Amino acid sequence: MIARRATLADLPDILRMGAAFHAASPVHQSIPFDSDSLQQFCEQAFDNTEVGFWVAADGDRIAGMAAAVIFPSYFNHTATIVQELFWWVDSDARGIGAGKQLIKSIEQWAADLDAKAVFMIALADKNEEKMQNVYARRGYRPLERTFIREVM
């Protein structure tokens, strides 16, 4: 399993995985999935130097994806931060290194761009504790919790 930059040719798999990621995420209760919106995001992201987008591939099979954005810290504009937007591996491909290759890609991109920190997200779901352990093994520490409320 290798991670490589995503291309437009990967779009069908990205849309499939995006739908699965969204369904698994608690955000689906507040925001419905729209494949056209994800496709538009991807088309813009692939040409944007401030967005990194990768897929995990084993031959022709795409089994995972990750995207991140780089931006200046609002507390110190001379320091840049990389924020993961999403990180997903198909359930039947977990445990074989796809996720590890994707997170390494995000971290290498951050290092190449001289970012000062990488922020990763763990969904509040049944895998939250497992993901905290994954992050801890890579040297991440908890920073905050995110809460959502629908606007009425």
Q: What is the pLDDT of residues 58-104, one digit of tens each?
A: 888 999 999 999 999 999 999 999 999 999 999 999 888 999 999 99
The dihedral over CA atoms of 10, 11, 15, 18, expressed in degrees to the nearest 10, equals 60
pLDDT for res 100: 93
Mean pLDDT across the chain: 92
Nearest residue to 111 (alpha-carbon basis) of 150, 136, 80:
80
Q: What is the pTM of this model?
A: 0.91
Report whether pLDDT(110) > 90: yes
The torsion angle over the Cα atoms of residues 106, 143, 44 and 61, rounded to 10 degrees, is 50
Single-letter amino acid, residue 152: M
Beta strands per DSSP E along 1-119: 2-5, 51-58, 61-72, 80-89, 117-119
Q: Using the predicted structure, report yes or no on whether residue 111 has a pLDDT greater than 90.
A: yes
Type of residue numbered 137:
R
According to the model, what pLDDT value does residue 131 have?
A: 83
Cβ atoms within 10 Å, residue 13: 19
How does pLDDT run across 50-64, given as a tens digit for each residue?
Answer: 999 999 998 889 999
Structural domains present in the chain: 2-137 (3.40.630.30)
